[in-house]
Amino acid sequence: MKKTVLHAVVIIVLIGQLFPNQKVFANPVSIPTTPSQLLDMLRDDTTVVVGESNETGKVTFIGSKDGTPLSTGNRSFIPFVGGNDVNSAALQEYAPLFGINDFNSELTLQSSLQADTDRTTSRYQQVYRGIPVIAGEITLNTSSSGGLYAMMGEASPDLSLDTTPQIDAAEAAQQATQLMTSRYGAAASDVILTSPALWIYDPCLLEPSSMPAELVWRFEATSVSNHSLDVLILVNALHGGISLQFNQIDTSFNHGIQQSNELAQEGPTTEVPVTETVDPPAETPTVTATETATETPTETPVVTETPIATDTPTVTPTATATETLMALPATLPNAINGVTIAVYNMNHLTEDDGATLPGTFVCNDTTPNCTSGVDTDADHALSYAIDTYNFFYNQHGRNSLNNAGLNINLSVHYDNNYANAFWNGTQAVFGDNFTPDDIVGHELTHGVTQYTSNLYYYYQSGAINESFSDIWGEFVDQTNGKGTDTPAVKWLMGEDYGAFRSMSNPPLYGDPDKMTSSWYQFGDLGDLDYYDNGGVHTNSGINNKAAYLMTDGDTFNGYSITGLGITKVAAIYYEVQTHLLTSGSNYNDLYYALHQACVNINGGSAGVTLQDCAEVQKALDAVEMNEDPLGTFMPQAEICPANTQPSNLFFDDFETSNAKWNLSDYSTGSSVWGRVLGYSASGSYSLYAPNYSGTADTRASFANSVAVPSSGTTYLYFNHAFGFEYGASMDGINRTWDGAVLEYRIDSGAWQDASTLYDSGQNYNGSVYAPVGGTNPLAGQTAFVRDSHGYISSRFNLSTTAIKGHNVNFRWRIGTDASVGDLGWLLDDVSIYQCQSDITGSLIFADGFSTSYVYADSTSGNVTRDAANSLLNFTSSQATPLHYSIPIHATNAPIELNFRFKISSTSGSSMLWVGLAHELTEITPAVAAADLAGTFIGIDSNDKIQFLNLYPNGSFSQVDGTASTLAYGGTQVWRNATLIVNGLNWSISVKDDNGSVIGTLSGTLPTQQDHYDYLTLMYDNGGGTDSITGQIDDLYVYGTEQTATFNDVPYNYTETLGGVSYLLHDYVQALYDNGLTAGTSSDPPLYSPTTNLDRSMAAVFILRANYGTSYTPPVEPWTTFTNESWANNAYAQKWAEGLYQAHLTAGCQASPLMYCPDNILLREEAVVFALRMKYDYFDGEGNLVSYTPPAASGTVFGDMTDTGYWATKWAEKAYLDGILPSCGTMGGKPMFCQYNSVDRAWAAYMIVQAKNLALP
């Protein structure tokens, strides 16, 4: 053994001699021999940084924390064909960690450049059997002595697919042409396609997805008659259909955005209190333009400015310290390097008018004053382009956009009323007045990106692309000494034109400032009218915020960052852009690249130090750049809670046959549904139907109906993956052309849509577009549309009155139109079942504390949720009593409570009581009030258990168990407790995590309770000074749930607001109990909680709340609101008349007088009604005295700071009165979201709070 160690030490010494200043593995007897061993060793090495992908499961980054290159001398290396020995050593050592097993056959060298005196940067393209992989790229930074500075990129791992196309190039080209004609309005004769090329497309390299890699034909499609089109089209080469397509040029405002702008300009319809002069609505911020870039690794990228609308009010950003402006030389590029910067005039024409870019020559940089004020757009374009060239030349030594002296052309006055700008791969183009310095710098930076990292303009890589242009655009803006650069506006994009983004405060314009921000956009699963290539304009805010923090410094998200200034930060980002990122890089990649870039240039000309790199790291952590955004692309439904199993009434995983199914295509009489081998959620088979490239109505249903039990909760669950045709239409709006629905029928009744039964997982995510003359049989219906990004799951609750005790059948139905196809729909693991406990009944309540939960009542006890570990923490003492209750509404038939706990108490006098209450129970049994009763298990840290029964008369009985040898105040240990009540019999057991019994108790109750309304936690200190701390996890209640008043408002009905879940059932029930609502349907009984509250509904609620259930509205004729149609809400005209007569409304418009019955109430309007409901009163003469809130402070909300705006004081008062909670946070303050709507469930909440109604 000693001899072996000696040899290993000699090896380490030799490695150190051969490769000086390199990291070598510290343990000489543990040199890794497999990729997994190497990865474990790298993870354990605190001087090495390793980044990994959630999508591929492989490494995406390896680097050094301090810049010392890693050794690549652990094995004899195989020379890289066409490469160099230094790279071969690094690739052989580390490429398998990235999913590249044979670097010689799976990588091709694309470029190599000398990054500095010791470092070489090489870029590699992944190939599979000679076919390139889209976004499969690796960058390698190696030292001259063979060390590895950094390796990053992504590869599609473990590829195994047929590379022989079944769809030939001609057929693929026909499908691509059909897409251009049907979706983009191009004549077939005008369509120009690039030569077809086979590529491999693995979606997970560009976006979150679990879809398999596929062989595709790749095209770039343009039109000779429409130069606003440059469409990337991927056609599946095995079965046809469009795998991916998006227009890489946006030449006009998005239609959906224009509509949003128009609505914003109109302002909200406001409820006017009759005793108050109402100020005009606050102006919506001027929305000008953002930009959309579209770039691919092999084709010419195009970048377009497109405005993004937002309802977020404009607020002046917090001023930050400014850096001394750099003195840029006035030297002209032409005089330095022979680079010509020229400006042309398009004279308000486009290619459609017969004009050709670049247009008519105006001037170039040999005449720097250009038109001397005659044409300010031309003057600005030239001046700011020179500034941009000089910034890149002086800061980065870059000679023009391509670093090879490329001449720069800019065209102004493009089209009429074109508030836009774009980079088309060869030049920049600007509409009138759209030439401020940061926008010019922004567009030209897209050219730099094109020639360096070449980031795809899609999803997160596109957001980074967009952010890079914002960053350099602002750096040019802040250092050229021109325009307005005061601290208040210097981080606004386009402030000299009309700001549309803030880099210091991205949420100001609806952009995220961190990965977990609620502003993060999920692209095609989000706004269906504005696809935005996966949220590139919005999600750029994350890196924008990081760049601001690095440059100016600030405190954000718990981190205090010291600013480095523009010179250092620009150098860091330039290193990232030129030497690290690949075309498909995402934010996780950028997280590692930025720190590595800082380390790479440590000690260089920019003056960057390792301490600076620590500040960079804090900025990256502050914006959570390596975290996943909240929400998910691939939601999964829970089958059953922990400790329960499904009891199947129907199940099919398609592994044997499709005998349980009826399969048909209604349109053709045949079927395209069938079992397929390959991509499945479980096993090897799934049921599949393609998205047909023609009109079709394709259906799959059960061969036999399934009987649903009359009791218990029954679910339908299935795994599925889908891809349905979507993309731009002739009007420029992205449409969902095809889609699918789930339908059901009861017994032999009519088929109906199943969306009302949706419970969890993936719900319908859009609507099938319904154009005039369209042929899709599902046109206009809400449906599963677009792309699921892989297998997801959906669960539907069949426990409605109409279904229980009946036979039910389900039908999966695809509707397609006459145009191009897509992937289609895959189904797997279809089941109908009930969740069963091993002991008692069905699961009626579960809380693993993985998400926030709002309890029904509480005292001052300290109870918090540990989100990281999904636990409920509690601490309590005599001074801080504990009392938390959760509504459960269960019958005693029988009922079982299970939970895990840890507890520590200072003496034996303290007990934590967890149990089932008939009413809300007081803090201690000794002071229990009358009519309060419950059954509880008592636990302490000495493993002592007790049984407690509280009686309605306030008395109680108690049964004590014995204590064990555990010490009070000792180490907390997990225990599992069970309480079962069956009629008069009860039993308690406590076990450890190994299942060993710690103690048991049992007995009988003197009287039987028929129901339990609450699950309650409370603390009893026995009258002493003891205190307890501990944790609870996995609370489960099994039994039979009581029937709720409304089918669509179960006892556990919750809605989420601002990331917090609110239990709203009791508020709806209180409304019903007080006669203020009868719901929206009596058979079945429905309340429609998610229906937005309109002014018609509000009239009924307000009058009943103010005058009681006996109030009768006026009878005809109704003479007040006669200037509008009541067709949609005829029932409400008499209520509006009564509201007016009661002086509770002045209408929505004075001349002509109108009520606007169909208008949805916004939060700012709804709280006016609620506050007047609370505070209005009648004086002694019967006159209504209308309430006016106190003046606004402007300090309550982060999004309502304008004290002059009419609604601010109403919102502040309503929030402070508890009438309506906040919708989130901004800048450490609550948000009010005044323009958000209020649904009927929240209307119930507001009325109950305003009228102080008792909850059930």
Is the Cβ–Cβ distance between 1211 and 1200 less than 8 Å? Answer: yes
Among candidates 387, 376, 411, 365, which has minimal Cα distance to 497?
376
**Amino acid occupying residue 10:** V
Does the CA dihedral 820-193-215-735 come out positive or negative? negative
**Amino acid occupying residue 867:** A
What string of H, E and C letters represents the secondary structure of 567-602?
HHHHHHHHHHHHHCCCCCCCHHHHHHHHHHHHHHCC
Q: ω before 1117 within 30° of 0 (cis)?
A: yes
Among candidates 800, 673, 815, 793, which has minimal Cα distance to 736?
815
Instruction: Give the Å distances, CA to CA, from 594 to 165, 218, 462, 599, 1065.
Output: 40, 32, 17, 9, 49
Is the Cβ–Cβ distance between 1037 and 937 less than 8 Å? Answer: no
State the Cα–Cα distance between residues 227 and 829, nearest whole angstrom: 47
State the Cα–Cα distance between residues 334 and 405, nearest whole angstrom: 10
Instruction: Give the Å distances, CA to CA, from 515 to 557, 590, 629, 1142.
Output: 11, 13, 5, 50
Sequential DSSP letters for 292-348: EEE--SSS--EEE-------PPP-PPPP-PPPPPP------HHHHH---EEEEE-TT
End-to-end CA distance of the chain: 76
Q: Which of 413, 442, 537, 883 is catalytic?
A: 537
Is the Cβ–Cβ distance between 745 and 789 less than 8 Å? Answer: no
Among candidates 165, 227, 231, 239, which has minimal Cα distance to 194?
231
Does the CA dihedral 597-598-602-607 come out positive or negative? positive
Among candidates 984, 880, 988, which has minimal Cα distance to 943?
988
Q: ω before 1152 within 30° of 0 (cis)?
A: yes
Written as six digits, the tokens of 810 are: 């389900």
Does the CA dihedral 1184-1190-1191-1195 come out positive or negative? negative
Q: Which of 295, 443, 495, 919 is catalytic?
A: 443
Instruction: Give the Å distances, CA to CA, from 564 to 326, 513, 621.
Output: 14, 19, 16
Strands (E), 747-882: 752-753, 758-761, 766-767, 782-783, 792-797, 807-816, 822-837, 842-847, 857-858, 862-866, 871-877
State the Cα–Cα distance between residues 152 and 143, nearest whole angstrom: 15
H/E segment holding residue 1163: helix 1163-1175
The answer for residues whose C-beta is within 8 angstroms of residue 1086's C-beta and 6 or more apart is: 1046, 1047, 1048, 1079, 1080
Among candidates 868, 875, 859, which has minimal Cα distance to 922?
859
**Amino acid occupying residue 616:** V
Q: Is 537 noted as a catalytic residue in this protein?
A: yes
Sequential DSSP letters for 98-120: GT-S-HHHHEEEEEEEE-SSSEE
| Partners of 191 in beta bridges | 223
The answer for residues whose C-beta is within 8 angstroms of residue 773's C-beta and 6 or more apart is: none
Q: Please identify every residue annotated as catalytic.
A: 443, 537
